[in-house]
Structure 1
């Protein structure tokens, strides 16, 4: 009926999210997050006395992609560069990074958590005198595992 609330009428939009990096003194707002994927290596095996002349496929080690975070550059905000500069040989401060997809009340719907994350790359903006675009910087995080949870 018209005017009644429908139960799950549409897919969840992806434009309202929050990123929390443990160890950063301030909350950083990001424009884009990518690399939230994980997969298993595939192993093939066939025993010599198998009557099937084909291999079986089994899951191997699980691996996750590096996660890329992008944000607009602001005059007084050097938080990503400062975070990157904390990396020293064999003295990396590893953090838990939580990425939450939020609903219209700003409550988490889904959460991705990166275990033992550390910044492996930071990039400043590209420069182009012919474009009317905002300056965007990015940081790439290496991590030791990605977990997903529906809140």
Structure 2
């Protein structure tokens, strides 16, 4: 397959988000307008050696992940939001894997981020303002165990 001349650098606005529910719900809900939290950071632990005052040893401790934040126009009949409400309102947690895929101009995957055991922390809608001509945006903030990035 010939590589498209438009694959580099990729654009950030062509992507999809897939929730891997065990049943058929939310299979078509892949369109989001914004995804954030695609980063990770090494945490460290400082160690001071007795008698050595010039520096502090810093050792790697573990990986720290931010929350995954998804935004889109409000969808009142959303199965994803039903899943989030079950967790937040009824404390009925059903963790699910989520894949965020960056696409090329031909809609083929370039890179995928696979988030493991996601569960909702927060659901919010944008403010209603009579003087603005804007759509209602819903924000879903998710916790997860870890993620991996894969070239597709």
| TM-superposition CA deviations, 1:40-59 (whole Å, max 9, x none) | 11222243366x73122221
Native 8 Å contact 1:80 1:139 kept in 2: no
* 1:33 matched residue in structure 2: 35
1:1-150 equivalences in 2 (<5 Å): 10-23=8-21, 25-26=25-26, 27-28=28-29, 29-48=31-50, 53-74=54-75, 77-87=77-87, 88-89=90-91, 91-150=92-151
CA RMSD of aligned residues (A): 2.3
| Alpha-carbon distance in structure 2 between the residues aligned to 1:95 and 1:101 | 20
Native 8 Å contact 2:17 2:99 kept in 1: yes
Following superposition, the deviation at residue 10 of structure 1 comes to 4.1
The alignment of Structure 1 onto Structure 2 pairs a total of residues equal to 144
Name the larger-Rg structure. Answer: 1
SS in 2 for 1:127: coil
| Alpha-carbon distance in structure 2 between the residues aligned to 1:139 and 1:40 | 25
Question: Residue 104 and residue 57 in structure 1: after superposition, are their counterparts in 2 closer, same or farther (change >3 A)?
Answer: same
SS in 2 for 1:84: helix
| Alpha-carbon distance in structure 1 between the residues aligned to 2:7 and 2:62 | 38
TM-score calculated relative to the size of structure 1: 0.83
Following superposition, the deviation at residue 138 of structure 1 comes to 1.1
